[in-house]
Structure 1
Amino acid sequence: MLFNTTGLLGMLHQLQLTPTAIDVLSVMTKCQRSGGAVDMKQAEIDEILNVGQASMSRAMALLVDRGLVLRSGNGRGHRYALNPAVAGYASQSEFESEMSRQLATGGPPPILVPDYARRPPKAGKGELHAVA
């Protein structure tokens, strides 16, 4: 069992993720090794979620763009890991060691929260409209 000290769940709504991206992140979180490495390819995650290659690629690209998922390699040989700031760790000391290592090299990669193009509507003020 891995533990995680991040407030990621509290800020998911601010990251403006698609439902598919949230599902992909959930699978990756469940299947991660200590420290965030995910030994699965996109196709393997898609087998679990059954969303299709195009939706899977868009969701993964969104997670990478937001900084929640780190991608290494190129072509079909991509390796994925969760950002060290949101990854699970086997122990508190492992988490502290990784964060010390990250801070020594400039800190973990940032998680990018998109800016609103305009202020969101206030609750109870007119109709809410879905945004694509």
Structure 2
Amino acid sequence: MLFNTTGLLGMLHQLQLTPTAVDVLSVMVKHQEAGGYVGMKQSEIDEILGVGQGSMSRAMALLVERGIVLRSGGGRGHRYALNPAVAGYESQSELEKEMTQQLTVGGPPPIRVPGYAKRPPKPGKGGLHAVA
């Protein structure tokens, strides 16, 4: 069992992820090593999900854009890891050690929650109305 620092599942709706991106994230969470490293290529994740290369690439790009997944390497040699703030750790002390280390370098990379596409409605003139 891995420990993590955040209730990522509780904020998934705010991240506006596609269903495919949620599925990709689920596979990555299941197959992560302690600390969040995911030793799988996109093609290996696609073998599990069967969504196709285009859908897989779009889903992974969205996860990277939101900061949930970190990508390193170039070309076909990308390596993936979960953001340290959502990664799993083998113990509470390992989690605390990693978060302390992250704080010394300015904290883990931010998770980007999209803003409103349009402004929320202005309050109306009237008060609350009961609905029967």
Larger radius of gyration between Structure 1 and Structure 2? 2
110-119 or 93-102, which moves further after superposition?
110-119
- TM-score by length of structure 1 reads 0.89
1:40 maps to 40
User: SS where residue 80 of structure 2 aligns?
Assistant: strand
CA contact 2:3–2:95 (8 Å) conserved in 1: no
Alignment of 1:1-132 (within 5 A): 1-119=1-119
Offset of 1:7 from its aligned partner?
A: 1.6
Amino acid at match of 2:96: E
1:128 maps to none
- TM-score by length of structure 2 reads 0.89
Q: Between the two proteins, what is the percent identity of the paired residues?
A: 81
After the TM superposition, list the runs of 4 or more consecutive aligned residues in structure 1 that deviate by more than 3 angstroms: none
Gaps of 5+ in 1: 122-132
Give the aligned CA root-mean-square deviation in angstroms: 1.1
Deviations 1:40-73 (A, max 9, x none): 0000000000000000000000000000000000
Q: 1:4 to 1:31 in 2, by over 3 A?
A: same
Gaps of 5+ in 2: 122-132
Aligned length: 121
CA separation in 2, counterparts of 1:14 and 1:116?
A: 10
CA separation in 2, counterparts of 1:8 and 1:41?
A: 23
